[in-house]
Structure 1
Amino acid sequence: MTKQSHSKHIYDDLDRKLISLLRRDGRAPVSKLADVLGVTRATVQSRMDRLLETGALLGFTARVREDYEEDYIRAIMMIEVIGKSTSQVIRALRGMPELFTLHTTNGNWDLVAEVRVARLHDFDRVLREVRMIDGVSNSETSLLLSSV
């Protein structure tokens, strides 16, 4: 599979409307999307396939109530990467289901991750695993205690 550049494809109003609908309900049936957009199901499906192929859509997620995961241990982890190994480190981190979000950033840290785990034992394991990834030179983690 060849990687296409995001800038080579021009997205039209139908693409933008479809993306907007999927942001509201990523699990909406193709038939419902087609009805709302006033096009055929085949058109919606081909647009979704192309948006996935070009990288405009990265996938579909379920939205969860905020209080659903309130018993989770949450933390923010800042990660420093050695030299030019950022892509390699990102690939390794993406494979860890406990990392809820991952961002590149500027300043002293190269990456910022949100960690979500059920138990302290899991938290300890995740910290150890991240620090053992080739290319990770340093990390600093802060537990999120309460939202204010």
Structure 2
Amino acid sequence: MVVDIRTSLFRSASWARVDDSVHRHGTSTVHDEQQNFPNLSRMLNIDGRPPLGSCSMRTVDDTDRRILLAMTENPRTTIVALAERLGLSRNTVQSRVAALEASSALQGYDRRLHAASLGYPLTVFMVTQVDQPHLEHVIAQLREIPEVVQVHGLSGQGDILVRCVCRDTDDLYRVSKLVLGCDGVIRTDTSLAMGELIPFRLAPVLERDLER
């Protein structure tokens, strides 16, 4: 197993790359931009829901941003406390929060869970190439693996980026075999996260947009 730095995708020395053995199913697939983009758009709407970021989503305004920032600072705050702090009526805050939840601007509670604190200290990212006709089937199989916490469609050489959490290196080996064993997966390039340097955040862009 060879370990080196994958500068093409993760431009930081904080990522170590592990080259997996190629897992082929008898056929080879040519990957190019013309082939990837149509399948990307199809995959992002794999289960019939509009993809996040689509034009059908509700556009937030400054009042929404103020509410979201206040909730970011204190996620357990109440509607009444929000209304008092922001100088808005309770009905306004309640309807705004409901609309934000309906539009996917507010995600599920599991987005706040910390994997390491739950016994999964390792986070890995697998740049995965798939046999294009089996793309939807691959996504369906990945959904059945509990350790797969997120999947993104990609342009370029890889087709999808699979994010997994694992208990230890033995668990990582097991999960890697599960991903490689999915019918339609050709190969994966696995990068182990050595540390979270900037946690996920959206408050800075909300604050910047408020200033405009």
TM-score by length of 1: 0.69
Q: Does the alignment pair 1:57 with 2:106?
A: yes
Q: Give ranges in structure 2 of 5+ residues lacking alignment.
A: 1-47, 198-212
Q: Give ranges in structure 1 of 5+ residues lacking alignment.
A: none
Native 8 Å contact 2:130 2:187 kept in 1:
yes
Percent identity between the two aligned chains: 27
RMSD: 3.6
What is the identity, as a one-letter code, of the residue corresponding to 1:142?
Answer: S
What's the counterpart of residue 55 of structure 2? 7
What's the counterpart of residue 102 of structure 1? 151
Can you list the C-alpha shifts for 1:14-43, whole angstroms capped at 9, x where unaligned? Answer: 112222333344333333322222223333
What's the counterpart of residue 129 of structure 2? 80
Can you list the C-alpha shifts for 1:101-128, whole angstroms capped at 9, x where unaligned? Answer: 4333222112223322112332222112
What's the counterpart of residue 143 of structure 1? 192
Can you list the C-alpha shifts for 1:35-58, whole angstroms capped at 9, x where unaligned? Answer: 222223333232222112122222
Distance in 1 (alpha carbons) for counterparts of 2:179 and 2:87: 47
Distance in 2 (alpha carbons) for counterparts of 1:11 and 1:122: 41
What is the identity, as a one-letter code, of the residue corresponding to 1:47?
Answer: R
What is the identity, as a one-letter code, of the residue corresponding to 2:78?
Answer: P
Native 8 Å contact 1:4 1:54 kept in 2:
no
Distance in 1 (alpha carbons) for counterparts of 2:135 and 2:97: 30
Distance in 2 (alpha carbons) for counterparts of 1:139 and 1:4: 27
Greater RCO, CA 8 A, separation 6+: 2
Relative distance call for 1:146 and 1:44 in structure 2 (3 A) is: closer
Q: Does the alignment pair 1:46 with 2:113?
A: no
TM-score by length of 2: 0.52
What does 1:100-139 align with in structure 2 at a 5 Å threshold?
A: 100-139=149-188
Distance in 1 (alpha carbons) for counterparts of 2:107 and 2:141: 18
Distance in 2 (alpha carbons) for counterparts of 1:147 and 1:62: 15
Distance in 2 (alpha carbons) for counterparts of 1:11 and 1:27: 21
SS of 1:7 mapped into structure 2 = coil
Relative distance call for 1:42 and 1:84 in structure 2 (3 A) is: farther
In terms of Rg, which structure is larger? 2
**Number of residue pairs aligned between Structure 1 and Structure 2:** 146
Distance in 2 (alpha carbons) for counterparts of 1:26 and 1:86: 37
Relative distance call for 1:82 and 1:58 in structure 2 (3 A) is: farther
